[in-house]
Structure 1
């Protein structure tokens, strides 16, 4: 049975203090309206190196293990969905530093405010030139575009007489891109996941990379050997998890407030809703436990084998999709019992519901199995 004070976390370790939690939550509505983090929140991120926790120590990063970082992602998403997504994406872009040469990696990632925004879509073209490429294209869903110092974009390189068409990733600088403010989803509005466009931008060859090849730098940092697809899956899954846990906390508070305000004489009604809540909550915690077990097991395999087996990749993928699915289902289970507050667009419950469903639309979290 649940106590009146819900303790979602499995341990008492917290990365974020109460001051920043309240600051972010107080700004949450403004974040939805503007799609931009406030200067004060960005300053906190820079001072605490939240965008550098996945960088190696040689680039003044924390070189953090994946399981430890995921707990921070979850905590950030539980504070606010858009904040959690931007912190997670900011972490994740560090992955690309290992695929560049040392000088370029230092130039791009050493600055205090260094952070990547980009898209995985292959919606650009590149024409090979001497020492580089001419790049044109437009890319959607570049989260954190307004505070990014680095943009990554995938392009098809036009075939020549001697080479077949191929795909490569390109690093664009802020003065080479135009931000198109077209992020119009019903949730996660604060992520500023706008499109970017570039026209006839010259990108030197050393600012390009190929994720299908082994990394060039930091051979001792296990994270950069972790398969990129599974890395993306687990990163996005914990955002869904954090938002889902926050939704259930707010749902529980709303249920208790409604019970006390109405002084409902029907004990059966409250018992029915309470049981619904406890079942949804327990199922999500079970999925959370299974998810972290899969992640920890995969990290142990990386430590011993320096790679993931195909079976382990499937295990991680399945656990990631499952925890996101259970979080979404938990919100669906509770939504009908939360009254008009949940259906009111300006309420926190409504925002959390919208954020959770938007996160779970990401292709890495969609399962085609029961």
Structure 2
């Protein structure tokens, strides 16, 4: 599952191109397909690569250490596998069974769905759909139209979760951040598309793979641990790039500060993985996480993200003007780290 040093070098050599073009290169995407990284949470009978959560988070961290956008895309793409048990086996095969299968989408309820014979007519616009340019399936939440319902009405809204094909979706290229540029996290727009009833699902109804342990890990800590893995991988890369820059200058004073930062960060990572491993063990023994464990792992994710961001906040001002050049490794990684840590699930 790991990467050879030559593969790491190859992906990093493409980082500048990916950032300039705002999209992952075909070569880097092929590494993901070949290693089945988009299928880490897809059951084996769907041509998946089912992986225990603690192992998968370590993979997300390593991918993000290699390159921020690369790691983010692996993490988001793999996360779509969590939806598999809420689909029937037939739909699951359609969605996941090809080697390049990957979901992009949004959990925000920013669309409307109107019930019609056999399904729904759907329109809406959803932001931040990472991997939009290579997705083979799109998912989104929409509010069920009940006549006078408005998204801002304050009423309790009934939602429907949709599975849509690329030809039903228009990508609006509006991802214009200063970091994670190659994630193609654009908006998707759907206009009066017909979505059959069987192409919808509910997170409260298992339709297949009920015995897979991963699917019983609660969604919120599942997502938080995934993003925390990205943040830690980005911090790993930032520290590596900062050290390379400082050693080239022979700046011993700042190198000493960097060494201290590395020790503190390593300690925080150990604490994070200790809790993550314990949560997985608890799930295996009891079939669920206790409310106390859910709160503990959630808190540990936020702490890990703050520690990751703190590496840059403390060290970047000490790196000098050359670190401000956007085409440098340390600058790109610092921008990626700040962008990743803006995610609401990492801000507590």
Normalising by structure 2, we get a TM-score of: 0.95
| Alignment partner, residue 225 of structure 2 | 234
Name the counterpart of 2:304: 323
Which whole-Å CA distance do the structure 1 matches of 2:32 and 2:6 have between them? 13
2:173 counterpart (181, 195, 202): 181
In 2, Cα distance between the equivalents of 1:124 and 1:53?
Answer: 29
Aligned match of 1:210 in 202, 209, 219? 202
Structure with greater Cα Rg? 1
Counterpart contact for 1:341–1:349, Cα < 8 Å: no
Give the deviation of 1:284 after TM superposition: 1.0
- Residue 272 of structure 1, CA deviation: 3.5
Q: Gapped runs of 5+ residues in structure 1? A: 1-13, 260-269
Q: Is the 8 A contact 2:247 2:255 kept in 1?
A: no
Helix, strand or coil for the counterpart of 1:202?
strand
For residues 98-142 of structure 1, what are the alpha-carbon distances to aligned partners after superposition, in whole Å with 9 as ceiling and x for unaligned?
111111111111011100001121100000111211110000000
CA contact (8 A) 1:90 1:117 kept: yes
Residues 101, 217 of structure 1: 8 Å contact kept? yes
3-state SS of paired residue (1:364): helix
Cα distance in structure 2, aligned partners of 1:224 and 1:157: 26
Q: Which residue of 1 aligns with 2:234?
A: 243
Q: CA deviation at 1:18?
A: 1.8
- Kindly provide the CA deviation profile for residues 338-368 of structure 1, in whole angstroms up to 9, marking residues without a partner as x: 111211122111101100000000000002x
8 Å CA contact 1:215–1:225 kept in 2: the answer is: no
1:149-175 CA distances to partner (integer Å, 9 max, x unpaired)? 0101110001279xx840121111000
RMSD over aligned Cα atoms: 1.4
8 Å contact kept, 2:86–2:201: yes
Matched, 1:356 2:343: no
2:39 counterpart (52, 57, 77): 52
Residues in 2 aligned to 1:354 and 1:165: alpha-carbon distance in whole angstroms: 37
Aligned pair count?
Answer: 341
Give 1:215 shift: 2.5
- Unpaired stretches in structure 2, ≥5 consecutive residues: 149-155
Contact 1:222 1:303 in 2 (8 A): yes
Q: Counterpart of 1:220? A: 211
Q: How does 1:104-183 map to 2 (within 5 A)?
A: 104-159=91-146, 165-183=157-175
